[in-house]
Amino acid sequence: MTSRIRLGTRRSALAQAQSGHVALALEKVSGRAVELVPITSEGDTNRASLSEIGGVGIFATSLRESLLRGECDLLVHSLKDLPTDVPAALTIAATPRRADARDVIVTRDGTPMHELAPGSRIGTGSPRRIAQARIRAPRVTAVDIRGNVDSRLERVRSGDLDAVVLAAAGLSRLDGDPLHGLFAEPMGLAEWPTAPGQGALAVETTADASPELMEALAALDDLDTRIAVTAERAVLAGLDAGCQAPMAAHATVEGDNLRVRAVVYAPHEEWRIGIDVTEALNGGYIRQNGSSNGADAADGADPISAAREMGFAVARRLLERGAADLLPRERS
Radius of gyration of the chain, Cα coordinates, nearest whole angstrom = 20
Residues 83 and 107 in one domain: no
Residues 65 and 81 in one domain: yes
Contacts of 133 (CB under 8 A, 6+ apart): 113, 122, 124, 140, 142, 165
192 within domain boundaries: no
The one-digit pLDDT tens for each residue of the chain (332 residues) are: 468 999 999 988 999 999 999 999 999 999 999 999 999 865 544 444 544 444 545 678 999 999 999 999 999 999 998 999 999 999 999 999 999 999 999 999 999 999 999 999 999 999 999 999 999 999 999 999 988 899 999 999 999 999 999 999 999 999 889 999 999 999 999 999 999 999 999 999 999 999 999 999 999 999 999 999 999 999 999 998 776 789 999 999 999 999 999 999 997 778 899 999 999 987 544 444 433 333 344 444 589 999 999 999 999 999 999 998 888 755 43
- Calpha distance 332→312 (Å, rounded): 20
Nearest partner of 42 among 71, 10, 69, judged by Cα? 10
For residue 205, the domain's CATH number is 3.40.190.10
Residues 155 and 128 in one domain: yes
131 within domain boundaries: yes
331 within domain boundaries: no
Residues 111 and 180 in one domain: yes
Determine the distance from the C-alpha atom of residue 25 to the mean position of all C-alpha atoms in its chain, rounded to a whole number: 21
Q: How far apart are the first and last CA of the chain?
A: 38
Dihedrals φ, ψ of 187, to 5°?
A: -100, 125
pLDDT score, position 181? 94
pLDDT score, position 157? 97
148 within domain boundaries: yes
Q: Number of folded domains in the chain? A: 3
How many Å is the maximal CA-CA distance in the chain?
61
For residue 278, the domain's CATH number is 3.30.160.40
pTM of the predicted structure, to 2 decimals:
0.87
Residues 288 and 309 in one domain: yes
Residues 246 and 319 in one domain: yes
Nearest partner of 54 among 205, 297, 241, judged by Cα? 241
142 within domain boundaries: yes
Nearest partner of 221 among 85, 25, 10, judged by Cα? 25
Domain stop point among 163, 186, 209: 186
244 within domain boundaries: yes
Amino acid at 199: G
What torsion do the CA atoms of 126, 132, 133, 135 make, to the nearest 10 degrees? 150
pLDDT score, position 220? 98
195 within domain boundaries: no
Residues 212 and 182 in one domain: no
pLDDT score, position 293? 37
89 within domain boundaries: yes
Residues 151 and 213 in one domain: no
- Calpha distance 178→85 (Å, rounded): 33
Residues 112 and 162 in one domain: yes
pLDDT score, position 57? 57
Q: How many residues does the chain have?
A: 332
| DSSP for 131-159, written as a single string | HHHHHH-TTSEEE---S-HHHHHHHHHTT
Residues 165 and 19 in one domain: no
Residues 92 and 108 in one domain: no
Residue-number span of the structural domain to which 287 is assigned: 228-326
- The count of other CB atoms within 10 Å of the CB of residue 288 is 16
Residues 70 and 209 in one domain: yes
Mapped onto helix, strand or coil, the DSSP state of residue 6 is: strand
